[in-house]
Amino acid sequence: MTEPRASRPHMAGYGFRVAVLDDYQRVATTVADWSVLGSDVEIVVFHDHATDEEQVVRRLTGFDAAVAMRERTPFPRSVLARLPDLRLLVTTGMANAVIDLDAARELGVTVCGTGGWAGAMATIELAWGLILAVARNIPAEDAGIRHGAWQVGIGTELGGKTLGIVGLGNLGPLMVPVARALGMEVVGWSRNLTDERCADVGVRRLEREEFFATADVVTVHLKLGDRSIGYVGRDELRRMKPTALLVNTSRGPVVDEAALIEALRQRWIAGAALDVFDREPLPADHPLRHLPRTVLSPHMGYVSTESYRTHYGDAVEDVATFLAGSPVRVLNA
């Protein structure tokens, strides 16, 4: 392992400065006790999002450590190389596709994670919330009532329908019990999915063409990586029923966003519920904001009081153990 960067003296009497990024809800300092780090450690919390590399570098210059909330802020080599003071980078969760772990190791930056399962069930709960919301037109009906209308549309029941799960890794199988409770059939597909894995989970494996033609609700549960970008694309969307729904709580680029917009505009599918997007926060002029038959949430699948307590509590521990010379949950050893 590359030797960590040497510490540098700081202004205002602080020996170690920690930047906490993207605390949108202003809760980072209330769900964890940062005071245990001692008076020699300065904690600076940023509630807004740095939108480009220049802003990230300006914001983090002079900090010894940064705490990143999931994949909200990328840390490629081009950013890490311009932060010579940075010695510790903490990411909530035990994987982060937008941190260059190799570059961090070469540059002497230790990268640590937090409890990897925190937020998993919260994501599953949100996925079902989105499915129910788009199937029963709940947001549109809510908006209608608030504007003086009554019963502006008609929804569809899930009982007797087929739930199609793209990806049966850690999260996909957690969708199955609720589907069964609602009386749904469950099928699975991914490029390397086996019959054995499907048998373990209790779902039926279908080939790609049949899967997308069969499922009434397609829910996506894949990790973001080079091989998963555009995993659900134009061809897959064209194969779906015109009554089918697409739900993505995985990562935005896993579904071809341009193809999805076309699918909604051309009514290839009945609707979509999305918690994740190619660019986050979603730009104000983004077409998805204005398309009908959509339910949008701001990447909040893992966002809950319980998961944040784990994430930020472990982040405090990561800083404390790094300062003690024995870092835990190191991702780039």
Across the range 135-143, mean pLDDT stands at 97
Question: Quick one: pLDDT at residue 6?
Answer: 53
DSSP 255: B
Catalytic amino acids?
251, 280, 299
What does the alpha-carbon distance between residue 121 and residue 84 come to, in Å, rounded to a whole number? 38
The answer on pLDDT for 1 being more than 90 is: no
Q: In which residue ranges of the chain is CATH 3.40.50.720 found?
A: 11-118+304-323, 120-296
Q: Does domain 11-118+304-323 have CATH number 3.40.630.30?
A: no
pLDDT at position 10 over 60: no
Q: Which residues, 6 or more positions from 4, have their beta carbon under 8 angstroms from its beta carbon?
A: 87, 88, 108, 109, 110
128: Cβ–Cβ under 8 A, 6 or more apart, which residues? 175, 178
pLDDT for the residue 118: 73
Q: What's residue 4's pLDDT?
A: 62
Nearest to 303, CA basis, from 72, 56, 35:
72
Whether residue 76 contacts residue 100, with contact meaning beta carbons closer than 8 Å, is answered with yes
**pLDDT at residue 79 above 80?**
yes
- Structure confidence by residue, pLDDT tens digits, 271-325: 999 999 999 999 999 999 999 999 999 999 999 999 999 999 999 999 999 999 9
Residue 17 sits at the vertex; the CA angle it makes with 11 and 20, to the nearest 5 degrees, is: 135
pTM for this predicted structure: 0.90
CATH number of 120-296: 3.40.50.720
Phi, psi angle pair for 178, to nearest 5°: -65, -40
182 pLDDT tier (thresholds 50, 70, 90): very high
pLDDT at site 119:
86
Measured from the Cβ of residue 256, the count of other Cβ atoms closer than 10 Å reads: 20
Q: What pLDDT digit, counting tens, does each position of 184-206 carry?
A: 999 999 999 999 999 999 999 99
For residue 117, what pLDDT band results from cuts at 50, 70 and 90?
Answer: confident
d(CA 31, CA 302): 15
Is residue 140 within 8 Å of 153, Cβ to Cβ?
A: yes
Q: What percentage of residues in the chain have a pLDDT greater than 90?
A: 93
